[in-house]
Amino acid sequence: MTYADPRAELNLPYTHVTDMFIDGQWVPAHSHNRTDVVDPATEQVWGSVPDADGEDVDAAVGAARNAFDAGPWPRLTPAQRAEHLLRIADEIEARADVLSATNTRENGSPVMETAGAAANAASIFRFFATLADYLQAEDVRIAPVGGHQTLVRRDPIGVCALIAPWNFPINLVVIKLAPALLAGNTVVIKPATPTPLSIRFIIEAIEAAGVPGGVVNLITGDAAAGDMLVRHRDVDKVAFTGSTAVGRKIAAVCGELLRPVTLELGGKSSAVVLPDADLDAMSQVLVRSCLRNTGQTCYISTRILAPAQRYDEVVEMVAATIAAAKCGDPFDPDTVFGPVANKMQYDKVLHYLESAWNEGARLVTGGRPADVTRGYFITPAVLADVTPEMTVAREEIFGPVITILAYETIDEAVEIANSTRFGLGGIVFSADPDAALAVAQRIDSGSVGINFFASNHSAPFGGRKDSGLGVEYGVEGLSAYLSYKSIHRR
Ligand code: NAD
């Protein structure tokens, strides 16, 4: 079947594909089932990929198993693997434009966002390459009892299944892939169903960098393919980013199998605005910190907690800032808010907005299907008079919706911030660094920013409570791909 393609001028190399990357080659899928790839800005089907069946999963895991058990990769020194990581970084950067366009077309993330995807991925590979010395350093410890020596080895775990969501289809694979490879593991990647194409440029970069066949394998498919991968007898570790509901299912399977698992899950983070906060400065970072990627970012602080005495001022600033940001075609370089990434998410966001109206929140701006004839556009919504019990204050919406709640005392603000079942991000806005730090320390989450939010490749990133298990980034993120072994000797 062919489709009229309104964006044919983009000339993207990957559209309707029939292959997967297994054992160092693009091979035709065994499965004949396929999934369409939809441009959320136009609702146009512009691509399709095969849905892996059991034989495809077996082939990919088998290739990774052989590469781990008998191939050169785990036997290279960490420094040699780091050389490959540096070459991969260069090769990814060489593909920045086409990767950005494919990513934008898959999930509607504005080019303002995806233009940096390749540079960010490259910087993650380069950061993990710097940890080769840490892996290589001889670690000998003296027993406090007995006085003997113990050589502590940091071995790779084996075959890792890397499963990603659709909101940042490159970054959320690469933060798993780079440490897994540096440690000497082999991997099978499964991107999310709506975003299976941009990841192919990472595979191209890996091929071009000379990584041996079987070390990195790519399958496409839906939840069933992911489930087969998680359960496969030859998988030794699972690393997952996605929803809390799916994370729970994967944790249950891995618990039964006693298989190590890292889970980066959903969030519902708060921006605590202290009474002395500089609202002009907050306005400058508001979109990036609270509504990045059209609200489809796990750690953003979509709940703004404003002091009662400045509530109206905060609502006015937030509404004016959000309403002034351009919403529209994600390929327009000035667009800040693109469409919601897919139909399911679009319906979910509208459903949450309806619940807000029914439960008594006040819509200050946006919150309606945008005035367009096609595409999953919703104008970014600011909801005021929200209370902690409302559905929109408790559940992850994952779309362009900000809620603003009032508090009377700092203790109450902290209590509201910690009252959800999530614990991923958070921000404290204040002119006083000490006061901000004191509040940041009381927020029960894996990361908190002061007057902005940005993760750091060298520091752990992860969630508490229903936001996940384990961390990514930093030397701690590398540890998630290591199996420790102590060799005692006299
Ligand atoms: P999702 O959980 O629906 O899917 C994620 C991935 O899991 C997809 O590849 C999907 O095909 C696969 N999958 C689904 N069911 C599976 C199963 N039973 N076994 C194995 N794999 C399965 O998530 P999504 O809708 O793609 O992404 C949005 C969610 O991701 C949000 O909740 C968001 O907060 C979360 N997220 C978290 C982080 C973080 O670092 N904590 C980062 C980004 C996104």
Give the model confidence (pLDDT) of 461-488 as tens digits: 999 999 999 999 999 999 999 999 999 9
Average pLDDT on 162-191 reads 98
Atom of ligand 1 nearest to the CA of 227: 19
Contact status, residue 424 vs residue 267, Cβ threshold 8 Å: yes
Average pLDDT on 12-39 reads 97
Asked if residue 90 has pLDDT above 90, the reply is yes
Residue 223 beta carbon below 6 angstroms from any ligand 1 atom: yes
Residue 170 beta carbon below 6 angstroms from any ligand 1 atom: no
Residue 3: per-residue pLDDT = 53
Residue 270 beta carbon below 6 angstroms from any ligand 1 atom: no
Average pLDDT on 214-233 reads 98
Residue 247: per-residue pLDDT = 98
Mean pLDDT in the chain?
Answer: 97
If we measure between CA atoms, which residue out of 242, 165, 233, 235 comes closest to residue 196?
A: 165
Asked if residue 8 has pLDDT above 60, the reply is yes
Return d(Cα 343, Cα 352) in angstroms, integer: 14
Residue 271: per-residue pLDDT = 98
Pick the catalytic residue from 298, 327, 396, 472: 298
CA-based max dimension of the chain = 77
Asked if residue 372 has pLDDT above 90, the reply is no
Atom of ligand 1 nearest to the CA of 242: 30
pTM: 0.97
pLDDT digits (tens, 9 = 90+) for 272-326: 999 999 999 999 999 999 999 999 999 999 999 999 999 999 999 999 999 999 9
Examine the residue annotation and report whether 160 is marked as an active-site residue of this protein.
no
Residue 1: per-residue pLDDT = 45
Examine the residue annotation and report whether 298 is marked as an active-site residue of this protein.
yes
